[in-house]
Amino acid sequence: MLRYPVKLRREGSRILVSFPDVPGVHTYGTGRKQALPRAVDALETMLMGIIADKEDIPSPSPARGRPFVELPALTEAKIVLYRTMRARGVGKAELARRLGCHLPQVDRLLDLRHASRLNQLEQAFRILGRQLTITIQKAA
């Protein structure tokens, strides 16, 4: 699970949220219950920009008792796919060629807001010499 620590700061009647590991991501809410879900959305938006700019996605530092947000499992799978592509030197066009599909389909695989099907992600990982596995754990 990708858990990014957050910094919470009260400013007037609002809670401001920032990410020490991903500078430039900020959001707010009237309380923690509103601010933390908005923080996930803000983080995903920044990560989509990082992917579009073909940059490295920062890894989260350990939370160590600090508040954090957890990215959805599908988002994490897409981030790992992006990182794997970069590590293997495989661009979107090359992955599309290897998958036998069109470039927009690969774009959707890397779109953190698109509800991609797991079998499509499995196939992409397989092409890159990896295997997508799922682990179910007891909830905290």
- pLDDT (tens digit, 9 = 90+) per residue, 103-134? 999 999 999 999 999 999 999 999 999 999 99
- pLDDT (tens digit, 9 = 90+) per residue, 37-92? 999 999 999 999 999 999 999 999 998 889 999 999 999 999 999 999 999 999 99
Listed residue (124, 3, 136) closest to 75, CA to CA: 3
The set of long-range contacts for 43-46, using a CB threshold of 8 Å and a minimum separation of 24, is 43/4, 43/19, 43/69, 43/71, 44/71, 44/75, 44/112, 44/113, 46/22
- DSSP conformation class of 56: P
Whether pTM > 0.85 for this model: the answer is yes
For residues 21 and 30, the answer to whether their CB atoms sit within 8 Å is no
19: helix, strand or coil: coil
Say if residue 1's pLDDT is above 90. no
For residues 70 and 1, the answer to whether their CB atoms sit within 8 Å is yes
Listed residue (11, 9, 12, 61) closest to 39, CA to CA: 9
Query: Mean pLDDT, to the nearest integer, of 6-22?
Result: 96
- pLDDT (tens digit, 9 = 90+) per residue, 17-32? 999 999 999 999 999 9
Say if residue 140's pLDDT is above 80. no
